[in-house]
Amino acid sequence: MLTSAQIAIINKKAAATPDALKRDSLSNYFEGYYFVTLNTRAESPILSSVEGIIGATGPDSPHCRYTELGLGVIECWKRMPSICSTVKIGPCEAMPEHFHGLIHLLPGNKRHLGSLISGFMAGCTHAYWDTLGIEWRRDKLSAHALALPDRDRNHTRSFRGPALFVHGYNDVEAITEEQVQIKIAYIQSQAERRLIKGRMHRCFCIERGKHSRSWSTEVAMRAVANDPFFACNRDKCLTAQRNVTARLVIDEKGACLDYLGFPPLMADEKKLPLICHRRDAARFEQQKEAVMNAARNGWIIVSAFISPKEKDIKEQMMVELLPFIEIMDNGFADRYKPTGKAFYACAENRLLQMSCWRYEYRKDVTVSREMCLVMNELARVISQRNDDWWKTWSAIVPQFNKQTAK
How many domains is the chain partitioned into structurally? 2
User: Are 231 and 335 contained in the same domain?
Assistant: yes
Distance CA 331, CA 349 (A): 21
CATH of the domain at 113: 3.30.70.1290
Domain end call among 176, 199, 222:
199
Domain end call among 166, 199, 232:
199
User: Are 195 and 221 contained in the same domain?
Assistant: no
pLDDT tens for 90-100 read 999 999 999 99
User: Are 136 and 226 contained in the same domain?
Assistant: no
Cβ neighbourhood burial of 364 (10 Å; 0-12, 13-18, 19+): exposed
Q: Tell me the one-letter amino acid at 402.
A: K
Domain end call among 143, 165, 199:
199
Distance CA 360, CA 101 (A): 24
Phi and psi at residue 104, to the nearest 5°:
-115, 115
User: Are 164 and 308 contained in the same domain?
Assistant: no
In this prediction, the residues of the chain whose per-residue pLDDT falls under 50 are 20-21, 23, 147-152, 154-157, 402, 405-406
| Residue 168 pLDDT | 78
156 is in which domain, residue-wise?
Answer: 15-199
By three-state DSSP, how is residue 282 classified?
helix
User: Are 207 and 195 contained in the same domain?
Assistant: no
User: Are 187 and 229 contained in the same domain?
Assistant: no
pTM over 0.75: no
Residue 239 lies in a domain: yes
User: Are 295 and 381 contained in the same domain?
Assistant: yes
User: Are 210 and 189 contained in the same domain?
Assistant: no
| Residue 23 pLDDT | 47
User: Are 373 and 326 contained in the same domain?
Assistant: yes
User: Are 356 and 213 contained in the same domain?
Assistant: yes
Question: Do 292 and 283 touch, CB atoms closer than 8 A?
Answer: no
| Residue 57 pLDDT | 87
Contacts of 217 (CB under 8 A, 6+ apart): 245, 248, 250, 254, 255
User: Are 68 and 139 contained in the same domain?
Assistant: yes
Residue 5 lies in a domain: no
